[in-house]
Amino acid sequence: MTKIKICGIKTVKDALAAMEAGADYLGFNFYPKSVRFIEKETCAEITSVLKREHPQIKLVGVFVNSPVDEVKNILETCHLDLAQLHGDETPELLESFSGKAFKAIRSSEFHRYHRLSVRNDAPALLVDAAVKGVYGGSGVTADWSAAAELAKKYPLLLAGGLTPENVADAVRQVKPWGVDVASGVESAAGEKDASKMKAFVKEVKRAEIRD
């Protein structure tokens, strides 16, 4: 079963709508330059509701070049399960999280990450599109052929320009551990669209049935 992560959640309403649509993982963006940026206190309020009503949901914090202590503080304060390191973090920094973090990479960077921790409930890495100066949420698709090769070796979370219209093809071609969507299920920047989230999940399931 392909895992589904809906990223860039900013409100309780969007979080619950994502849950209702069928998301397995929810992502919260702590990169201040992102349109999906969320304050730590706001995130903590949302996640306290989620953990109470949907204890099975996995919650992920997205960070770009943040200090390790800051990331660990936010993980604890907001009851997050995993950290997604989406900047220029080193493999050594990744290892300092003892399996509670995974790295977002462009396919050209993969040679730097040859020692990856593998868990059943987390991806080993996330593959995103390479867009100069942009750390995720660009709406540009990743290199699916390169991602497919990586997906044979590691639990891979595929991101980059996924939408209800193309995610079924992505799942069939890449066979990823999971898929990650932000802008592809929004009605406006940072605002999730309940019908698009439902359509996205439906298309992932459809791809699995046809496969």
Mean pLDDT of the 162-175 span: 96
Q: Residue 130 pLDDT more than 70?
A: no
If DSSP codes are grouped into helix, strand and coil, which group holds residue 97? coil
pLDDT band at 201 (very low <50, low <70, confident <90, very high): very high
Encoded tokens for 1? 């079963």
Question: By the 8 A CB rule, do 62 and 7 touch?
Answer: yes
**Type of residue numbered 145:** S
What is the DSSP code (8-state) at residue 37? Answer: B
Dihedrals phi, psi of 83, to nearest 5 degrees: -110, 130
Question: By the 8 A CB rule, do 162 and 132 touch?
Answer: no
Nearest alpha-carbon partner for 4 in 147, 152, 168, 140: 168
Question: By the 8 A CB rule, do 193 and 187 touch?
Answer: yes
Question: By the 8 A CB rule, do 138 and 177 touch?
Answer: no
Q: What is the pLDDT of residues 26-83, one digit of tens each?
A: 999 999 999 999 999 999 999 999 999 999 999 999 999 999 999 999 999 999 999 9
Q: Residue 134 pLDDT more than 60?
A: no
Find the helix or strand (DSSP H, E) in which 38 lies. Answer: none
**pLDDT (0 to 100) of residue 92:** 86
Strands 156-158 and 178-181: parallel
Q: What is the pLDDT of residues 97-116, one digit of tens each?
A: 988 999 998 756 666 655 66
Encoded tokens for 145? 């052929």
> What domains can you pick out in the chain, each with its CATH number?
3-210 (3.20.20.70)
Between CA 19 and CA 37 the distance in angstroms is: 20
**pLDDT (0 to 100) of residue 107:** 59
